[in-house]
Structure 1
Amino acid sequence: MTKIFDLPTNLVEEILSKIPFKYMREVRLTCKQWDTLSKSRSFSKMHIDKLSEIREGESMMVAWIDYDLYLMRVLLVDNEDPIVEWKGKLNQQIKISKVFHCDGLLLCVLKDDATKVIVWNPYWGQTRSIECRCPSYGYNMFSYALGYEDKGSCRSYKFLRFIDRYVDYATRDEFLWYEIYDFDSSSWKTLDVTPHWRIQFCHGVCLKGNTYWPASQRKREGDVLNDHIICFDFTSESFGPLLRLPFDAGYCDYVTLSCVREEKLAVLLTHNEAGPMEFEIWITTKIEAENVLWSKFLRVLEPDLAPLITCNGFFVEEENKVAMGFVTDLSITTFNIVGEAGYLKKLKLVECLEIDIQCARGANACSYVPSLVQIKQPASGTKRKEQSDLEKQRCDQNMSRLVAFKKRSKFW
């Protein structure tokens, strides 16, 4: 009798490629032959292609809920209720306080360990732990961004970490520290940054290797509200100019960015100034280093002063002209799908994720596409690259200033 191990390799690859993403770890643990096959380039490409086949109205996303990550697939069907498939929980032991997506990789800030971050490719199950030079003293102290420099035949991955905030609002004293980590050299570098902008604790999004944030002009007498975006270029390791948003935000408004199929940016404006709550979403039609053009995608009035999509995170499905995201209201967390002409679907977490959570302490989502990217690991047996004397001096100075500011500030 023919056994599966007797079949041609290409046929075994075809059979195993039909196995859902969440069971790949079990496939690799079955035997050495399947472990080796599952890591081959030909199988991985076939499996990724099947996972990435996007049917009309379909989206894949990573959902962050109460320090755990879940893989979900959303399918919108004409004249039928949306289908939300739970593909499995991604993390097993560690708890994650923040997550950032770029090119199929996830940068994870840990809830219970402020000394390091984890970069993770969920498809391969591959991780790299990166030790931080300065522990994160507070939940919102550092901002993060993951990106890459495109070198033609390969991509060089880096991540940015920075503090840019007031120490004392009365005197307008500030503390700034921008640093970048290079995966290739396994080294940190302090960046020379004199910001003419301010990023107000917003979550950045990665597009084609660079990261964008909502931002405002920086003024001593008080910062204007978010009416621009700003980009960090991981190739030049520098920020670009402020790029104007297609609207003026008010004092009660929130501005949030998202990525559309890793091809465009989307911006959500949620506001409730002297009237019913409403939101509008714009999508880029052109984005360059010093120029960006926008087209209005969706505008929705929100009844009963209850938000339908929040500033915590959202994404859009262009073909069906809908926006999606998590909302917590009256102790119930729902996954909302909102569209034109009053279209609204609210799915409770218990129903759409098959997890026993009625009300999440925190929930957001980002679009996700599996990736063949191999995370570069430090060479075995080699020591970490020594810092230059100047870099060590700059790091020590920033550490001393940070400790001193933390002692005198009421807000840290």
Structure 2
Amino acid sequence: MTTMISNLPKDLIEEILSRLSWKSMKAVRLTCKSWNNLSKSEMYIGKSTREGQSMMIAMMPHNLYLMSCVVDVDPSIEHKGQLSFLHNQVSISRVFHYEGLILCILKDVTRIVVLNPYLGQTRWIKLRFSHCQQRFDMFSYALGYEHKESCRSFKFLRFIDYFYKAPETKFFWYEIYDFDSGSWSTLDVTPHWFISCSSDSVSLKGNTYWCARERTPENGLRDHIICFDFTRERFGPLLPLPVNVTDHDYGIVTLSCVKEEKIAALFQHYASFDSEFEIWITTKIEAEMVSWSKFLRMDTKPKIFFPDTFFIDEEKKVFMDVGRDYEGNWDYDYEYPKTLIYIIGEAGYFKKLDPGLPNQNRWPRVCSYVPSLVQIKKLARGKRIEQSSLEKHRFDQNMLRLAEIEIDTLLEVRLMVIILVICRSRTLRRVEFWKRSEMLLEPYGNSCIVMPILRDKETI
């Protein structure tokens, strides 16, 4: 007698479906209503992720790829395939993970996209204004949600904090997008902190955290963290890191999320010869308070240069990092170092895995991933709220100021190029060089960014 698959025990069906690739999930959901409901259950998601398995999303030039890493005596990597929710014409510049959702910052600077890879849902958001990416992306980004009784109300935060040459040129603009209303609004923020535009954020329980520093610090190092509360739409106070960055000469601080419950902070020295690092994990964290406990302290030789991403396995006392193999055999003139995954733990545990990512002229971008059933709402037709006259006025004023900064910065970049061309002449002595440079820079005064550099040169 033949048994129909629909008559099999529920546990057995869950086990069978959990072994299918994510590419097959769409077909599974369309098979029947019971399978569709089963694929959207928390129990099924738990079975689809094996014990000891860490999910990661790697950014390629035009798309995202899902991988899983199993940490064991003999660790391994499995490629789950391409996340085919974005067409190949879309080029991604940055990627962030927020509690099961992926935020993609595109090279097309007119929009961003938020997606749930597990459910196959996407939400495209048109930015109010684009920005010049010829040099670098000056904006910081975050995704979070407001806590409501029935559901989560998602919001997207984008801000620029420009403090490049002198206090009189400072400019900051914090704006937030509401997924429910489809509207943008400018936040009334006067920051006493500074968040670097290169600082990646981490999400925890709907809020977002960054490494930050005081607005006018003595050392200029990022020695605090700060939280943005999406429910109140405001920043909390600067919260202390567990290690005094200055006293320990830790110049690099990187944050990571641990099982959507805690935040880990990795401290590393700037010095290329110093291979010591520490990792601390929060024991309690809220928007306005934090406490820490030490997780791991290691000394790796050769030194591993940590990028913006690392992952923690608290139970196994190991952490994983995606970086470059600067110790391998490669030709600097013709190729880039291979991307590797490093697994480091106590008692000298050290493993290297090749994830099979292509060598690129950029640091590998990988983020952790935890499958989620969080729904991304589509904007209802006709629900977009019209901007108020006050918001339109704020927008116009900020756009004028931003345009002034873009023009000033572009002029300085061009001047630096001219000066560097002059520097090519090895026979040009310091006095001659200074006279020529002074003539070029006279209209811009001492605020020009290259002046301090020039004065430090004895001979060009």
TM-score range, shorter chain: 0.7 to 0.9
How do 1:158-197 residues align onto structure 2 when only pairs under 5 Å count?
Answer: 158-166=155-163, 168-170=164-166, 173-197=169-193
Give TM-score, length-normalised by structure 1. 0.87
Partner of 2:393: 393
Does the CA-based 8 Å contact 1:284-1:294 persist in structure 2?
yes
Q: Quick check: 1:90 aligned with 2:83?
A: yes
The answer to whether the Cα contact below 8 Å between 1:270 and 1:311 also exists between their aligned partners in 2 is no
Aligned residue among 79, 101, 120 for 2:115: 120
Task: Please name the residue that 2:144 is paired with.
Answer: 147
Contact 1:313 1:326 in 2 (8 A): yes
Measure, in 1, the Cα distance between the counterparts of 2:175 and 2:396: 13
Distance 1:290 1:26 in 2: 42
Counterpart in 1 of 2:279? Answer: 281
SS in 2 for 1:405: helix
Q: What's the CA shift string for 1:271-295, capped at 9, x where partnerless?
A: 0459623211100111123221111
Question: Equivalent residues in 2 for 1:282-361 (5 A)?
Answer: 282-304=280-302, 306-307=303-304, 310-330=306-326, 331-350=337-356, 357-358=358-359, 361=362
* Cα pair 1:105 1:371 within 8 Å, conserved: yes
Q: Distance between the aligned counterparts of 1:20 and 1:344, measured in 2?
A: 31
Partner of residue 60, structure 1: 55
Query: How far 1:136 sits from its partner (Å)?
Result: 3.1
TM-score with structure 2 length normalisation? 0.78
Structure 1's unaligned 5+ residue stretches are: none
Distance 1:320 1:173, change over 3 A: same
Higher Cα Rg, which structure: 2
- Unaligned stretches of 5+ residues in structure 2: 327-336, 414-460
Q: 1:360 to 1:35 in 2, by over 3 A?
A: farther
Instruction: Give the whole-Å Cα distance in 1 for the aligned partners of 2:83 and 2:6.
Output: 33
8 A contact 1:205–1:213 mirrored in 2: yes
Kept in 1, the 8 Å contact 2:176–2:184? The answer is yes
Distance in 1 between residues matched to 2:8 and 2:270, nearest whole Å: 62
Question: Quick check: 1:165–1:175 contact (8 Å CA) kept in 2?
Answer: yes
Residue 404 of structure 2: aligned partner: 404
* Cα 1:41–1:68 shift into 2, 3 Å: same
- Taking a change above 3 Å as real, the CA distance of residues 21 and 208 of structure 1, as seen in their structure-2 partners, is farther
How much does 1:152 deviate? Answer: 2.8
Q: In structure 2, give the amino acid aligned to 1:377.
A: K
Structure with more contact order per residue of length (Cα contacts < 8 Å, sep ≥ 6): 1
Relative to structure 1, the CA distance from residue 8 to residue 281 in structure 2 (aligned partners, 3 Å threshold; closer, same or farther) is closer
Partners of 1:12 and 1:397 lie apart in 2 by 62
Deviation for aligned residue 1:363: 1.4
Cα displacement (A) at 1:317: 0.9
**More divergent stretch after superposition (384-393 vs 136-145):** 136-145
Q: What is the percent sequence identity of the aligned residues?
A: 49
CA apart distance, 1:85: 1.7
Q: How far 1:397 moved relative to its partner?
A: 1.2
Change (3 A) 1:344 1:377: same
Aligned to 1:22: 22
Moved more, 284-293 or 173-182: 284-293
CA offset digits 1:122-145 (Å, max 9, x no partner): 111111111100113224221100
Change (3 A) 1:191 1:7: same
Q: Secondary structure at the match of 2:370?
A: coil
Question: Helix, strand or coil for the counterpart of 1:403?
Answer: helix
1:47-68 deviation per Cα after TM superposition (whole angstroms, max 9, x unaligned) = 323224x51x332222334453
Give the drift of 1:401. 1.2
Give the letter for the 1:165 counterpart: Y
Tell me by how many angstroms 1:393 deviates: 1.1
The residue that corresponds to 2:380 in the other structure is: 379
CA contact (8 A) 2:96 2:103 kept: yes
Find the counterpart in structure 1 of residue 195 from structure 2.
Answer: 199
- CA drift of 1:253 comes to 1.2
Matched-pair contact (CA < 8 Å) for 2:181–2:383: no
Q: 1-side partners of 2:243 and 2:380: how far apart?
A: 49
CA distance in 2, matches of 1:241, 1:110: 31
**1:133 partner amino acid:** R
Answer whether contact 2:15 2:47 (CA < 8 A) is retained.
Answer: no
Structure in which a larger fraction of residues adopt strand: 1
The reply on whether 1:47 has 2:53 as its aligned counterpart is: no
Query: Which stretch shifts more, 4-13 or 238-247?
Result: 4-13
Distance (whole Å) between structure 2 residues aligned to residue 362 and residue 67 of structure 1: 15
The root-mean-square deviation of aligned C-alpha atoms, in Å, is 2.7
Alpha-carbon separation, structure 1, partners of 2:315 and 2:63: 30
Q: CA offsets, 1:151-193, max 9 Å, x none?
A: 1321111110000122x41455211010001111111110001
Q: Structure 1 residues 402 and 223 mapped into 2: Cα distance closer, same or farther (>3 Å)?
A: farther
| AA aligned opposite 1:84 | I
